[in-house]
Structure 1
């Protein structure tokens, strides 16, 4: 059955066991949780060496948000103004993001991996009035702002340099210059997050307080999370998954967050055990790197209830290998920036999970449609479309693109190709723009990716189509090999060459789907939500 489903609603989940008025804004939620949980730790941060760098309680978060709200107002910021945060993970970063939303401002977390032209575009297009920037990012930000000022396209903006690990709240001077009027509809927006597509400039996704609270509730309901649960947050806060799943969901259910500066395969399991986490949140790339690393004492991981994989489809072989190697069940989910992170999830009940599936709709509705908009039959491939409380209100200052992204009856077009089986489970086969059409035959790049990753020497892979005079398109595979000497490379530990990979593909895919060319790279380009940006590989 390929029918819309809605298994959880915000009403099914309360932020704590007692009855409470459903929060309408992040301010409501932070105030309510401070009253409910007081000095219970909400956020614990660690250094790369594993030492504690700070703890923020629910009361402490509320008090800091109130003080920063006062400082924002004294500096001249008004509801609906945009504040950018260009910093890595840390107590200060989390506090600034939450305080901006608490204050009625719109927070714009900037991807630290932005190229200079992207950074300039985001700073200018977002109409940001205040930028918090770390010392590491200050030179790039200064260069971007100076370039915009030289072009005469920069509105007055203030930059405040602060450390991601700082414990003292930043001082703010009065802002210089007048700001553009705030549109009334912007007053409900809490988050502006720019997502890089495969082509064109980044698009600013606008998410309201209602969008964020809805998905924080859906996540808490799906995984039956309680105040006793703690998650390891190693994904960056400029990643929609890192922000909503590991920062906002625990705030919603009264749990806690153990935050690391960044993901490190070397220290990941150490941090899980040291902070006594009950669940972990990863993306497929992290799964690949953990499979390539050391296996900790499995008895030390017994407190982990589950591992949650998100943002992109998880290769089935990696899914099975992770569970076998670490003894931790994976709940595969899927979402996008436009849906405030997850919109699909496999069930918490392990017997109902399906390897290779992104699961069932989580809190919203989903269906697969043909090009004419008609719903597909079970097993038939089409485009996934979505509708629900977590779906964005639109793209910032892009009404035409917003209109084109939604169907006439309000469904969000994802651009993802997939199908729904007869039991209502959804599967992703690729992106519509990335489909390879060779000799008139549609080839899903993911099929080639997964075949390549079954080679023991391949860490990651991404197949793309390139023009070909005979077939229309041919296949080129970009490959990240495992470290030399890894047990996974097999034999003498030497990485595979093109001839070895071609032979592997011939045996697993057949001649027609075997890539014509193999190009070896050190990493694959990814957007803020973690998805591989295949078409950018051809521009490298």
Structure 2
């Protein structure tokens, strides 16, 4: 199956059914209308000389046309290249140069920036102004009409997604139609999605979570998706109620925002019949702290399903089962429709409970890294197993538990310490909203531990109190040598804390009055 097949299946079977809802202007795009746009888009691209297999970039925030462009490009045989709108200029300039796109669709908010960035790239790149709600301002005639779509093979590249590049230059992840469809199907099976389900998409479409989980999965199941321009804490529950959403996908950062709102004002969700249609929420893209997980379910009375996915695996690889299964707190779940195992340093499968690296095999695993055969060879073995770089173990009931990242391990006096264990400990303190532990250089141990923390609203605690708290929970050896109170933690597009970036920025953070918080 390809993206083209998925769209045309529902256009012919249930063409008048809603697929995409834009709450800001209350417009709905049906499956049939989406199919018609494919032919119109193909004609316009043909007229511009952008043929099948060519790369087209998108620099836009969420909106009906952002989703339409992504789907239309893939379905018409082009390769969609979503650009991270919150990335720095140097990173975006690198991606634009590296991805070989000759065309960029840019929304009004990013049009000027796109023009500046493309001007720094040696080849000519056209910028098409594109309103997220009304569509592109085409250079070609409005009478371009429609065009027949080329045949698309499941192994043709559909999507080129760039990683965040926190440990070097961003890598371009090549995902075929087979990969993208498999990633969507993994989500459909794990969450038993059907045509009766309606998801809420509040994550940016330039991230794999939103792209596959909340756009491709409903396309496969025949369901629908509500897509506001951006996430809003105040509007979140109102959208779910007004649009009759049955599920939503968020990241742990959003979970903490919603909890903060619940602490300050009652959103009226628990036991409210207006929210009876909500089957579950899902959390992905970074580890969900157990204390946060339990607090969310207690506050809102909605099951929150922890999952795990990567850009290289077209999103979801693991998920907790839905109720009535008992939530396995602290675990991203079990494998659905792909194989996941833990391997030791010598490549052998680890024993249950033994920590090693998670590896993944399945139709959802990427084709490779674009123009980077060395990185591809390092990550993919001859049998198609992708080495994730995530450390963890599998228990006797097939649930996986993540202990950290290979590159983030703190090695103190020869002992491996997982930063997440320290994060979880700090988050159990009632004053802490967010926490991130990381390695710092130490003359005696080689490395020692430091932690940055964000306090909850109107909470106070000293570094000495947190040190005593950690010593009582995990012992002196794993207790941070120093705690830095900050107003926010640097995060990637998915909301994942950029732990290595904190260590790199440490000197700047300590001297920045806009960053450092007063903990008194």
Whether TM exceeds 0.5 here: the answer is yes
Deviations 1:298-354 (A, max 9, x none): 213221111111122211111111111110112211000000100011112432531
Partner of 1:511: 476
Contact 1:357 1:426 in 2 (8 A): yes
Residue among 77, 91, 96 paired with 1:104: 77
Partner of 1:305: 279
Aligned ranges for residues 245-394 of structure 1 at < 5 Å?
245-294=213-262, 295-297=266-268, 298=270, 299=272, 300-394=274-368
Deviations 1:262-301 (A, max 9, x none): 1122221111111110111111111111111124222132
Q: Which structure has the higher relative contact order (CA within 8 Å, separation 6+)?
A: 1
Between the aligned partners of 1:185 and 1:463, the Cα distance in structure 2 is 45
Between the aligned partners of 1:340 and 1:212, the Cα distance in structure 2 is 6
Residue among 42, 60, 63 paired with 1:90: 63
Contact 2:128 2:136 in 1 (8 A): no
Partner of 2:415: 441
Deviations 1:159-218 (A, max 9, x none): 01122222x4531349xxxxxxxxx99980000000024311000000000111112122
Between the aligned partners of 1:143 and 1:422, the Cα distance in structure 2 is 55
CA displacement at 1:517 relative to structure 2 = 1.6
Between the aligned partners of 1:412 and 1:136, the Cα distance in structure 2 is 37
Matched, 1:26 2:3: yes
Aligned ranges for residues 98-247 of structure 1 at < 5 Å?
98-148=71-121, 154-166=122-134, 168-173=135-140, 188-247=156-215
Contact 2:155 2:178 in 1 (8 A): no
Deviations 1:423-448 (A, max 9, x none): 11111000011011112221110011
After TM superposition, the structure 1 stretch with the greater mean CA deviation from structure 2, 293-302 or 221-230, is 293-302
Matched, 1:531 2:505: no
Give the TM-score normalised by structure 2: 0.91
Partner of 1:75: 48
> Are residues 438 and 350 of structure 1, via their aligned partners in 2, closer, same or farther at CA, if it must alter by over 3 Å?
farther
CA displacement at 1:53 relative to structure 2 = 4.0
Partner of 2:518: none
Between the aligned partners of 2:407 and 2:180, the Cα distance in structure 1 is 28
Between the aligned partners of 1:171 and 1:509, the Cα distance in structure 2 is 60
Partner of 1:501: 466
> Are residues 185 and 468 of structure 1, via their aligned partners in 2, closer, same or farther at CA, if it must alter by over 3 Å?
farther
Between the aligned partners of 2:479 and 2:422, the Cα distance in structure 1 is 8
Contact 2:439 2:503 in 1 (8 A): no
Contact 2:353 2:395 in 1 (8 A): yes
Over aligned residues, Cα RMSD in angstroms? 1.8
Aligned ranges for residues 417-496 of structure 1 at < 5 Å?
417-483=391-457, 493-496=458-461
Partner of 2:148: none
Contact 1:230 1:276 in 2 (8 A): yes
Partner of 1:56: 29
CA displacement at 1:511 relative to structure 2 = 1.8
Structure 2 SS opposite 1:78:
coil
Matched, 1:405 2:379: yes
> Are residues 430 and 350 of structure 1, via their aligned partners in 2, closer, same or farther at CA, if it must alter by over 3 Å?
farther
CA displacement at 1:408 relative to structure 2 = 3.7
Partner of 1:13: none
Partner of 2:513: none
Structure 2 SS opposite 1:350:
coil
Structure 1 SS opposite 2:302:
coil
Structure 2 SS opposite 1:136:
helix
Partner of 2:511: none
Contact 2:73 2:80 in 1 (8 A): yes
Between the aligned partners of 1:496 and 1:146, the Cα distance in structure 2 is 50
> Are residues 277 and 62 of structure 1, via their aligned partners in 2, closer, same or farther at CA, if it must alter by over 3 Å?
same
Partner of 2:508: none
Structure 2 SS opposite 1:504:
helix
Between the aligned partners of 1:133 and 1:186, the Cα distance in structure 2 is 28
Structure 2 SS opposite 1:96:
helix
Partner of 1:522: 487
Matched, 1:65 2:38: yes
Matched, 1:36 2:3: no
Matched, 1:416 2:403: no
Structure 1 SS opposite 2:12:
helix
After TM superposition, the structure 1 stretch with the greater mean CA deviation from structure 2, 500-509 or 454-463, is 500-509
Between the aligned partners of 2:381 and 2:194, the Cα distance in structure 1 is 37
Aligned length: 489
Between the aligned partners of 1:205 and 1:246, the Cα distance in structure 2 is 19
After TM superposition, the structure 1 stretch with the greater mean CA deviation from structure 2, 351-360 or 24-33, is 351-360
> Are residues 36 and 503 of structure 1, via their aligned partners in 2, closer, same or farther at CA, if it must alter by over 3 Å?
same
Which sections of structure 1, spanning at least 5 residues, go unmatched?
1-23, 149-153, 175-183, 484-492
> Are residues 186 and 330 of structure 1, via their aligned partners in 2, closer, same or farther at CA, if it must alter by over 3 Å?
closer
Which sections of structure 2, spanning at least 5 residues, go unmatched?
142-151, 506-520
Between the aligned partners of 1:413 and 1:525, the Cα distance in structure 2 is 26
CA displacement at 1:144 relative to structure 2 = 1.4
